Amino acid sequence: MNLRPETGLTFDDVLLVPKKSSIRSRSEVSTKTTLTKEIELNIPILSANMDTVTESSMAIAMAQQGGLGILHRFMSIERQAEQVRKVKRAESLVVLNPLTICPSATVAEARQIMKAEDVGGLVVVDEQKHVLGLVATRDVLLATDEMASVSTVMTPRERLVMAQAGESLESARQKLYQARVEKLPLLDEEGRLAGLITVQDIIKIQDHPFATKDQHGRLRVGAAVGVRPEDLERAAACVEAGADVLVVDIAHGHSQHTLEMVSRLKKTFPVVALVAGNVATPEGVRELAEAGADAVKVGVGAGSICITRVVTGFGVPQLTAVAECAEEGHRLNVPIIADGGMRTSGDVTKALAAGASAVMLGSMLAGTDEAPGAEIVRQGRRYKVVRGMASLSANVERRKLDKPLQEEEYSEELWSEVVPEGVEALVPYRGKVRDILHQIVGGLRSGMSYAGAHTLQELWQNAEFIRITPAGQKESGAHDVSLI
């Protein structure tokens, strides 16, 4: 038997020791971090690639607040790619591929497209992409003849305000304001549609100045993939749709098939950021980095709805895992993402102080409006469902997705074949994710000020942990009072 001499620690086992600080206000602290060499975040938080946490609504909100959302992979390839496209279309300086419609299409078709894509207008073009007009919600909303052609209700070209591709933000703002219009089509040298600037996008830029964006001003988004051959097709579809990050999402990331997939993805998509995991040892970090991972996710069995450690007996307490993996990550210049085990902003601060460049949160975000989990009311209180992706129902649904069958073919035998390593649970409804992020980041900023750290790099350098007893844990929370 090989028994390691040290004791594995998790977040409740330690506190950070306060240090002398010259920081007078939390606003002096920078929470910027590097997710990969090419991608920076203004807040070091990712939303977990779980089907009760991150789909397009969550990914949009995370990027707008300066973090990043990772779309889960437990859906069809086509749907995941469409989720990526929704995020990329949600906010940008210039809409590079604006939605279009032909002049002969019907009012009913225009309504359907605008509703499905959640947009307020379509550019009317001919077969050569020359702009003929613009049809907006107001043009079709009250139209009595649904079979009338779009050309009969659109604003024609001669009444549109247009500009050349490359229009600056300030110039576009002035043209939109002077003409009192909401959309500015952009034309290339041949007069064909090259893009679109909208009032709503300009407002979003003003409202979300710290958003995580790509070089075109679009929100960044990540997409999770697995390790099967067909996941190369999934990755290709997501990259084509605009995904900025691919995340190889495997419970035991330090495995041969994971290493092979990471290597294959890096060769196929060399310019796309690649995150891989999960691991719990420095050896796992090193081998994934050598295979081509730009960042590594750390955490085995630490999540609140994960029971891998109970079922298999394997895992490493999360703070120890993060600290050991981060040491190797810093040596290799590969960022570490702490995934799982965090319940409070203090835990987030500890994970980052231990050397992580970012954290991935699941249950802490699952109760928000943007999370896709089902909402439940119990005894007058609102909850949302969260489940581990290795839970019984998640496993069965994944098998249904992989091998579509008739409903009657899903027998008790199929359910009995699954050995779940996750559970389903309820979390309290928490409102908008931006409000939760505000609390978490506020706690992190305060924590950094206690360490005298203006940046996360200074937090790594200044952090000093002290082990505490169960009495110390009790003392750390509210005690000996009646809460109101």
> pLDDT tens across 376-426, in order?
888 889 988 887 665 545 555 655 565 554 444 545 555 456 565 657 788
Same structural domain, 20 and 163? no
What is the DSSP pairing of strand 273-279 with strand 121-125?
unpaired
* Phi, psi of 400, deg, nearest 5: -65, -40
Same structural domain, 173 and 257? no
Same structural domain, 323 and 406? yes
User: How far apart are alpha carbons 229 and 227 in whole angstroms?
Assistant: 7
483 occurs within a structural domain: no
User: How far apart are alpha carbons 198 and 183 in whole angstroms?
Assistant: 4
Question: How do residues 102-142 score in pLDDT, each as one tens digit?
Answer: 989 898 898 889 888 888 889 999 888 988 889 988 888 77
Q: Is the pLDDT reported for residue 249 higher than 60?
A: yes
User: How far apart are alpha carbons 366 and 444 in whole angstroms?
Assistant: 20
User: How far apart are alpha carbons 375 and 162 in whole angstroms?
Assistant: 45
What is the DSSP pairing of strand 245-249 with strand 273-279?
parallel
Same structural domain, 238 and 176? no
Point out the domain boundary residue: 188, 207, 226: 207
Residue 245 pairs in a beta bridge with 222, 273
Query: What's residue 110's pLDDT?
Result: 87
Query: Omega of the bond prior to 42 within 30 degrees of 0, cis?
Result: no
User: How far apart are alpha carbons 27 and 18 in whole angstroms?
Assistant: 19
H/E segment holding residue 240:
helix 230-241
Structure tokens at 350: 């500890």
Query: What's residue 443's pLDDT?
Result: 97
200: closest CA among 282, 92, 285? 92
4 occurs within a structural domain: no
Residue 427 pairs in a beta bridge with 384
Same structural domain, 178 and 85? no
484 occurs within a structural domain: no
What average pLDDT does the segment 69-82 reach?
Answer: 96
Distances (CA, A) of 409 to 392, 393, 417: 17, 16, 14
Q: Check residue 21 and report its DSSP letter.
A: -
* Phi, psi of 266, deg, nearest 5: -65, -35
Same structural domain, 368 and 459? yes
Known binding residues: 249-251, 299-301, 303-304, 306, 339-341, 362-363, 421, 475-477
Which residue has tokens 């505490």? 468
Same structural domain, 140 and 21? no
Burial level of 182, CB count in 10 A (0-12/13-18/19+)?
Answer: middle
Query: What's residue 408's pLDDT?
Result: 46
Three-state SS letters, 85-125: HHHHHHCCCCECCCCEECCCCEHHHHHHHHHHHCCCEEEEE
User: How far apart are alpha carbons 64 and 58 in whole angstroms?
Assistant: 10
Return the active site residues: 306
User: How far apart are alpha carbons 351 and 10 in whole angstroms?
Assistant: 9
479 occurs within a structural domain: no
Domain span at 195 = 100-207
Per the CB < 8 A criterion, the answer to whether 428 and 367 are in contact is yes
Can you say whether residue 46 is alpha, beta or left, with left for phi > 0 and alpha for psi between -120 and 50 degrees?
beta
Four-CA torsion 346, 351, 352, 353, nearest 10 degrees: 80
User: What is the CA angle 60-64-68, rounded to 5?
Assistant: 65
Where residue 382 sits, what CATH number does that domain have? 3.20.20.70
**pTM of the predicted protein model:** 0.86
Query: What's residue 120's pLDDT?
Result: 83
Known binding residues for NAD(+): 249-251, 299-301
11: closest CA among 336, 461, 346, 451? 346
Question: How do residues 276-303 score in pLDDT, each as one tens digit?
Answer: 989 999 999 999 999 999 999 999 988 8
Q: Give the largest CA-CA distance in the chain.
A: 82
- Report percent pLDDT > 70 for the chain: 93
Same structural domain, 64 and 121? no
Same structural domain, 200 and 221? no
422: closest CA among 319, 339, 307? 307
Same structural domain, 79 and 195? no
477 occurs within a structural domain: no
Question: How do residues 184-225 score in pLDDT, each as one tens digit?
Answer: 888 888 888 988 888 888 888 888 999 999 988 899 999 999
SS3 270: coil
Q: How many domains does the chain have?
A: 2
Q: Mean pLDDT score of the chain, rounded to an integer?
A: 89
Query: What's residue 245's pLDDT?
Result: 98
Point out the domain boundary residue: 179, 207, 235: 207
181 occurs within a structural domain: yes
Structure tokens at 180: 């009192």
80 occurs within a structural domain: yes
481 occurs within a structural domain: no
Mean pLDDT highest for which of 165-169, 427-431, 475-479?
427-431
61: closest CA among 221, 177, 194, 216? 221
Q: How many CB atoms lie within 10 A of CB 432?
A: 12
DSSP for 122-189? Answer: EEEE-TT-BEEEEEEHHHHHT-S-TTSBGGGTSEEGGG---EETT--HHHHHHHHHHHT-SEEEEE-T
Task: Measure CA 434 to chain center.
Answer: 13
Same structural domain, 184 and 255? no
Where residue 168 sits, what CATH number does that domain have? 3.10.580.10
Same structural domain, 139 and 81? no
